A and B are shown apart, each in its own frame.
Chain A
């Protein structure tokens, strides 16, 4: 016990090592992998993200001009954000909050539509 005394004294006067969560929340690190978002204005439905996603969380429906994202399947590896050449996948360092039902996000690719209109 005497060997541990310095640690005990330090802890006695050092204050708690934990935070008063959820009142006090630590800011996420800059490069932390939190969740992904899609920028519909930039997406051209090239399918790079869907092809490289290891968890098959992204589906591309070119007929309906849609990108379907299943957040509950996402393993937050950010491979899609690195694969996207148009910066349409936004990597965020904030965590998603828990959900009761599995959400499905449907994104309509506007950049693709505009390109088609011009042609």
Chain B
């Protein structure tokens, strides 16, 4: 038997600058066992949410994750709205959808860039991130900030998109779509990309379901499941159909995210064309009543689950968040054993881990 070596992978910058450590046991360059160690980025946000008044938690929840901050804010608002329950004006629903999809576009472009970077394909990494800047500019123009958008409030949204901004958004999104499509074509056909991703880290449909995975990671294994199918926000009116691949390897996961990027742009364009006129905010009546509510939202990385419990005061009694990466980390224990040591970074990256989300 060849000697076994245990090597730490992380917590400082394992593929991506987020703190997760994988204790990898390997034997002749083949991974035998993996033990993930978490706990480097815990900030106690859930507890802090119990100490604040409920409108202030929006800004705290947005800071759970830097990339999906917009969707965390929207999810928090939606779960608190369900405590009454109260209805949001239709235009606000469309605006939330547009901003959610914009976040998804920039998150997926970021991930595709990181994938190219992990493969050593530096020029493609730069190209993806250059396109992403345009989407971030749109977010800054419409929301006021690139990353922590702070546009959603309980009862609606804080900002409206006027006609001039709408025109700029539509024009830019069409440009982004065209440029992204050309790059994705490179990603899908390039032999070096294929050599590094096809057949690596295979996760079968049964394993994915058994491990409770979600998001693009699950859809790449052939499971048609997406929270947007529930029709929350304005998705019910947009004719949404999830992107599914069947191979379950790193290449399939990259393709799912690439196709979702284009789909997200299409959804935004459709939402812009269907967006009704009208109010964007209704004032909630009093404090959240003593009630419980749950909300599921499809973020770029997968399904986020929000639970809130009110007690009739301005403060929530409990807020619980389950983030997509928490459900996807167990799949590493199945995908990594048996793979080459050099493929570990790409397989870890293929679940699109967001550790600060997971630990909150």
B182 and A33 form a contact (CB under 8 A): no
Residues facing A in B116-144 (CB within 8 A) are: 123-124, 127, 130, 133, 137, 140-142, 144
Q: Is B227 an interface residue (CB 8 A)?
A: no
Report the minimal beta-carbon distance from A97 to chain B, rounded to whole angstroms.
18
Cβ of A100 under 8 Å from chain B: no
Contact A77 to B59, CB < 8 A, known contacts A29-B140, A31-B144, A54-B52: yes
Determine the main DSSP class of B at the interface with A: helix
Residues of chain A at interface, number, CB under 8 A: 21
Contact, CB under 8 Å: A3 / B190: yes
A residues less than 8 Å from B140 (CB atoms): 29, 32
- Contact A76–B145 (Cβ < 8 Å): yes
With the chains together, A1 CA to B193 CA distance in Å? Answer: 11
Per the bound structure, the CA–CA distance linking A8 and B121 in Å amounts to 14
Residues A55 and B59 in contact, CB atoms below 8 Å apart: yes
Judging by beta carbons under 8 Å apart, are A7 and B183 in contact?
Answer: yes
- A7 and B130 contacting across the interface, CB-CB below 8 Å: no
> Quick one: which of A3, A4, A77 contacts B150, CB cutoff 8 A?
A77
CB-based nearest B residue for A18: B130
Find chain B residues with CB under 8 A from A33 CB. 144-145, 150
| Beta-carbon contact of A7 and B182 below 8 Å | yes
* CA A82 to CA B123, docked complex, whole Å: 44
Closest residue of chain A to B59 (Cβ to Cβ) is A54
Q: Does A78 belong to the interface (CB within 8 Å)?
A: yes
Q: In the assembled complex, which residues on chain B have CB atoms less than 8 Å from the CB atom of A8?
A: 123
B147-198, CB < 8 A from A: 148, 150, 158-159, 182-183, 185-186, 189-190
When C-beta atoms are compared, the residue in chain A nearest to B183 turns out to be A7
The CA of A76 and the CA of B148, in the complex, are separated in Å by 10
Q: Contacts of B182 on A, CB cut-off 8 Å?
A: 6-7
A-B CB contact pairs (8 Å), 10 listed: A3-B185, A4-B123, A11-B127, A17-B130, A29-B144, A32-B141, A32-B144, A32-B145, A54-B52, A75-B59
- Mark A residues whose CB is within 8 Å of B: 1, 3-4, 6-8, 11, 17, 29, 31-33, 52, 54-55, 75-79, 82
> 4 closest pairs, A vs B, by CB?
A54-B56, A33-B144, A54-B59, A29-B141
